[in-house]
């Protein structure tokens, strides 16, 4: 049976950021780096892959480890992390995985006969004389490869540009020959870094990291993370190696710039870096991105939202939701886990995640334990938002909570709107369910749950009855 598609789209105990989605055959595959729950650095795990049927985007299958970090000859002891990868189909029909290790500035390549089989190390991107890209005098360090293959040519996009570093100029594009390794055209810059943004049209949204490339019709879409980190921006061109024009923001993982349900400058989630891309699945397009959990930069989860192209090819920014791949609102009845919160904030605005200073999505156990996530460290005036639900005949509302809290959960359908239900809670060290009547009209609604009181309770789920 088809399942509702939730956001994040993978199980709550899986941490796959930097998602690059592709449709191969009748399945969509997501390739990304691999964080750990309670990780202390980025990308601690081996590369794994998940896939889902194109017509059942709530039914994801774990494909297993596709590439261990010690497979690379430069990393036989496994001391370096596998940073964000990308995949493309070569002229020979095989699947090529491009990646960069965390302490070197060269691009590694692995290959496999199937989308999610065991990839084997293939080589390093290099010039005709054998010099590795990133090691030739004048080369800038390689980072976050994104790839697109057309015929016998592969376009490789790389780069990282931090504020204050004038040695790095922007995102680069390098043209590779049909062997997928040899450089046919040396790197050129396609989008400026922050130190070189003036007069380019990229001001305030300069390239930072996470280059990704897609083509729709005759237009190349260059997706990247900007200097502020929480947003995925895009630029377009009719040519893959030049002429890219900044177009706008596709998604922000703290929903900055969105002014539909809140002020545009109000962050309603705790963001940090971002990485992802766009993909067409059947007749719809989506943006894949990631969010931060556990009050940390290092436990990121993949999310997705449907996007729409205007007649001129531009993409209006989309708001973050709990139902991204579902094709519409979630069913307005039954129990939903609290980790689906797309909004999480207090009355002290913050664009960035900050440890235990704010509420957070977290879980019990250690990394790998299949423990369903919940919201922890709730505090007075903390709000969790869930969007959207198609409600019909809802008469009661329940929350399941635990922990040291003495207060009330208030339920609304709008930020700052009328309180529709109140559920008093008390200190408890086990999950307890509290139920009350609710005045909820039929229709598509957001659900905002605000804690008012003392202590720091935890929210496991809510139920529409």
Q: Which residues are registered as beta bridge partners of 251?
A: 232
Give the pLDDT of residue 1.
67
Q: Could you tell me how many helices (H) and strands (E) the chain has, helices first?
A: 0, 31
The token pair that represents 382 in the structure block: 């903390």
Last residue of a domain, one of 307, 341, 373: 307
Give the three-class secondary structure for 93.
coil
The enclosing domain of 347 has a CATH number of: 2.60.120.260
Give the pLDDT of residue 304.
98
Residue 327 lies in a domain: no
What's the chain's length in residues?
Answer: 465
Give the whole-angstrom CA distance, residue 380 versus residue 28.
41
Catalytic residue annotation: 18, 209
Q: Are residues 349 and 284 in the same domain?
A: no
Q: Are residues 199 and 275 in the same domain?
A: yes
pLDDT tens digits for 150-194?
A: 999 999 999 999 999 999 999 999 999 999 999 999 999 999 999
Residue 315 lies in a domain: no
Give the pLDDT of residue 143.
98
Q: Are residues 260 and 350 in the same domain?
A: no
Instruction: Look at the block and give the residue holding tokens 């680069």.
Output: 172
Q: Are residues 355 and 222 in the same domain?
A: no
Q: Which element (helix H / strand E) includes 145?
A: none
pLDDT tens digits for 48-74?
A: 999 999 999 999 999 999 999 999 999
For 184-199, the DSSP string reads EEEEEEEEEBGGG-TT
CA angle 459, 463, 465 (to 5 degrees): 160
The token pair that represents 300 in the structure block: 């990121």
The number of distinct structural domains making up the chain is: 2
Q: Which element (helix H / strand E) includes 222?
A: strand 219-226
Rounded-to-10 torsion of CA 62, 106, 298, 6: -40
Q: Using an 8 Å Cβ cutoff, are 5 and 331 in contact? A: no
Give the pLDDT of residue 28.
98
Residue 7 lies in a domain: no
Last residue of a domain, one of 266, 290, 307: 307
The enclosing domain of 299 has a CATH number of: 2.115.10.20
Residue 215 lies in a domain: yes
Residues of the chain short of pLDDT 70, as ranges, are: 1
Q: Are residues 299 and 386 in the same domain?
A: no
Give the pLDDT of residue 362.
98
Give the pLDDT of residue 18.
98
Give the whole-angstrom CA distance, residue 154 versus residue 94.
13
Residue 192 lies in a domain: yes
Residue 11 lies in a domain: no
Q: Give, in order, the Cα–Cα distances in Å from 53 to each of 24, 247, 278.
A: 10, 31, 17
* Residue-range definition of the domain harbouring residue 345: 333-464
Q: Are residues 64 and 136 in the same domain?
A: yes
Q: Are residues 295 and 249 in the same domain?
A: yes
Q: Are residues 299 and 374 in the same domain?
A: no
Give the pLDDT of residue 84.
98
Q: Are residues 239 and 388 in the same domain?
A: no
Last residue of a domain, one of 272, 307, 342: 307
Q: Are residues 268 and 342 in the same domain?
A: no
Q: Are residues 302 and 368 in the same domain?
A: no
What is the radius of gyration, based on Cα positions, of the chain? 22
Burial grade of 199 (CB within 10 A; 0-12, 13-18, 19 or more):
exposed
Q: Are residues 428 and 382 in the same domain?
A: yes
Q: Is the pTM of this model over 0.85?
A: yes
Residue 251 lies in a domain: yes
Give the whole-angstrom CA distance, residue 439 versus residue 331.
18
pLDDT tens digits for 314-332?
A: 999 999 999 999 999 999 9
Give the pLDDT of residue 165.
97
Q: Using an 8 Å Cβ cutoff, are 169 and 143 in contact? A: no
Q: Using an 8 Å Cβ cutoff, are 231 and 204 in contact? A: no
Residue 246 lies in a domain: yes
């Amino acid at each position: 049976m088809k399942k509702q598609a939730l956001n994040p789209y993978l199980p709550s105990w899986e941490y796959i950021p930097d998602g690059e989605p592709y449709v191969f055959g009748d399945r969509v595959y997501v390739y990304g780096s691999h964080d750990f729950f309670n990780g202390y650095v980025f990308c601690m795990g081996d590369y794994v892959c998940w896939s889902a049927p194109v017509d059942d985007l709530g039914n994801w299958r774990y494909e297993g480890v596709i590439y261990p970090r010690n497979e690379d000859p430069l990393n036989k002891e496994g001391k370096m992390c596998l940073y964000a990868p990308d995949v493309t189909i070569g002229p020979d029909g095989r699947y090529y995985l491009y990646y960069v290790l965390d302490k070197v500035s060269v691009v590694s390549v692995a290959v496999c006969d199937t989308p999610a089989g065991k990839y084997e190390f293939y080589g390093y991107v290099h010039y005709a004389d054998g010099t590795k890209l990133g090691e030739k005098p004048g080369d800038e360090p390689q980072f976050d490869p994104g790839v697109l293959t057309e015929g016998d040519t592969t376009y490789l996009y790389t780069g990282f540009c931090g504020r204050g570093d004038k040695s790095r100029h922007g995102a680069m594009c390098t043209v590779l020959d049909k062997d997928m390794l040899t450089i046919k055209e040396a790197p050129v810059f396609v989008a400026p870094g922050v130190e070189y943004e003036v007069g380019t049209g990229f001001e305030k949204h300069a390239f930072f990291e996470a280059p990704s490339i897609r083509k729709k019709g005759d237009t190349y879409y260059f997706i990247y993370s900007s200097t502020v980190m929480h947003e995925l921006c895009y630029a377009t061109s009719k040519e893959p190696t030049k002429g890219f024009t900044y177009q706008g923001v596709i998604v922000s993982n703290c929903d900055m710039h969105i002014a539909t349900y809140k002020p545009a400058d109000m962050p309603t989630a705790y963001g940090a870096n971002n990485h992802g891309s766009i993909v067409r699945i059947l007749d719809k397009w989506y943006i894949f991105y990631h969010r931060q959990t556990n009050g940390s930069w290092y436990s990121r989860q993949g999310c997705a939202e449907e996007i729409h192209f205007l007649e001129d090819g531009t993409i209006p920014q989309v708001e973050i939701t709990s139902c991204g791949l579902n094709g519409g609102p979630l069913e307005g009845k039954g129990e939903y886990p609290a980790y689906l919160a797309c909004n999480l904030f207090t009355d002290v605005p913050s664009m960035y995640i900050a440890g235990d200073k704010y509420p957070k999505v977290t879980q019990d156990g250690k990394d790998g334990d299949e423990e369903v996530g919940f919201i922890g460290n709730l505090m007075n005036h903390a709000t969790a938002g869930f969007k959207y639900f198609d409600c019909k005949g809802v008469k009661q509302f329940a929350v399941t909570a635990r922990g040291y809290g003495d207060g009330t959960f208030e339920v609304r359908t709008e930020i700052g709107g009328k309180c529709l239900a109140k559920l008093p809670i008390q200190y408890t060290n086990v999950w307890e369910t509290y139920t009350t009547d609710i005045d909820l009209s039929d229709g598509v609604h957001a659900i905002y749950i605000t804690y008012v009181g003392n202590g720091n309770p935890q929210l496991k789920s809510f139920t529409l009855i």
